[in-house]
Amino acid sequence: MARFEFYGAKGLPDVNLDELKGKLIVIEGTDGVGRSTHIGLLKRWLENNGHAVLDTGMTRSALAGEGLKAAKEGHTLGWITMTLFYATDFADRLENEMIPALRAGFIVLTDRYIFSLMARALVRGADPEWIRQVYEFALKPDVIIYLRVKIEDLITRVIQNVGFNYWESGMDLHLGEDMYESFVEYQSRLLREFDNMAGQYNFQVIETSPSIEEVFEQVKRSVEPLLQLPHLRSRVGT
């Protein structure tokens, strides 16, 4: 039996799930939560243990990447259009990066997956049933690690690191007087959506803390069960 399933009954046409031998690991979380730090650490750790890793997520797709970038700069597209544009971009990356790597037996480590995209659409008023159906073509990951942060901690981190930007502050939603108020309200709403999804999609929730080492220990623990090779495990047992 195939290891992988799609979220929907049908999923992507032309993909034979039996061929997918690799593992799909997702790191999710809002902006500024330290996802890329942990992806970097996890990648190195996995490679040291002999696994081939493809990390993806930071770059946009070959198909829609440029268009999306321009769309974000122009602010001219409506949110339903943006939602589907992101879905197109994700589908292109899934079909052209992740699936070929899974076929080749890689561990695919992705910085964000459909959940960030769904959360963004939901806070803009998307119908929950609709957005769930849009992403039915996505593969169910082996594990979804959700780096959870309290809104207070998030604010300090963002101010320290990068400052507020238009999209991360949800400025298109006109939620507050200024970027700070808008950021707080927008990110709080996003966190609420992530919390709602955590149970529904079986997230491994990890509370972030100032200690990167502590958090990474938990990240490793979430991933370890996937890495046991059956024949080695029995040998370890004896």
Partner 1 sequence: MTPIMKMYGKHRFPGKLFIVEGIDGSGKSTQIALLQKWLESEGYVTFFSEWNSSPLVRGVTRRGKKKRMLTPTTFSLIHATDFADRTEHHIMPPLKSGALVLADRYIYTAFARDVARGVDARWVRSLYQFAVKPTLGFYFRISLDEAMKRILGGRDALKYYEAGMDLRLSDDIEESFRLFQSRIIDEYEKMVAEFALIVIDASLSIEEQQAQMRQIVSEALTGAKKIRIRKWLDLSSMVQRDSRM
In the complex, the residues that contact partner 1 under the rule CB under 8 A are 8-14, 62-64, 66-67, 70-71, 74, 76-78, 80-81, 83-85, 87-88, 91-92, 95, 123-127, 130, 133-134, 136-137, 173
148 to each of 46, 124, 186, 215, how far by Cα in Å? 23, 21, 16, 11
CB of 16 to partner 1, least distance (A): 14
Residue 196, C-beta contacts closer than 8 angstroms, at least 6 positions apart: none
- The neighbour count for residue 13, using CB atoms within 10 Å, is 6
What CA–CA distance (Å, rounded) separates 207 from 67? 35
Query: Between residues 61 and 116, which has the closer beta carbon with respect to partner 1?
Result: 61
Count of alpha carbons within 13 angstroms of residue 77, beta-carbon side: 16
CB of 170 to partner 1, least distance (A): 10
Of 46, 49, 35, 178, give the one whose Cα is nearest residue 113: 35
CB of 20 to partner 1, least distance (A): 16
CB of 141 to partner 1, least distance (A): 18
Query: Between residues 81 and 202, which has the closer beta carbon with respect to partner 1?
Result: 81
Query: Between residues 62 and 159, which has the closer beta carbon with respect to partner 1?
Result: 62
What CA–CA distance (Å, rounded) separates 165 from 33? 15
CB of 194 to partner 1, least distance (A): 17
Placement of tokens 């101010």 in the chain: 159
